[in-house]
Amino acid sequence: MDVSTHAKKRLHERMGVNKKSSERVAQNALKSGIKRQDFSGSIRRFLDMLYFQYMDKEIIVYSNKVFVFAGDILVTVMDLPSRYNKVCAKVGNKEG
């Protein structure tokens, strides 16, 4: 599991995670996160837009953040818009 320099900066900026812990957070997101395919409706359309914007990278939602992976490399992390937080929690409860 690799984390790009850009992703380390974004994890620190958006989640308060230091650079040493970034790999652990990326592994947790990959293991426990919710994949784009598990959503439907407007959140799915939003995630599909990101999927095509980031040239077919894997999009995973974890801890109300959107993680973009290229294989085993975390490319970037961005905030999930707040209007989708409840939907994300519902899908997470169904999965778990």
Express each pLDDT in 57-83 by its tens digit: 999 999 999 999 999 999 999 999 999
User: Does residue 96 carry a pLDDT above 50?
Assistant: no
Report the pLDDT averaged over residues 22-51: 93
**CA pseudo-torsion sign 41, 47, 51, 53:** positive
pTM score > 0.75 for this model? yes
**Sequence-separated (6 or more) residues with CB below 8 Å from residue 69:** 26, 30, 57, 58, 59, 60, 75
Q: What is the pLDDT of residue 93?
A: 65
Model confidence at 35: pLDDT above 60: yes
- Our CA angle for 24, 14, 33, nearest 5°, is 45
Distance CA 31, CA 6 (A): 21
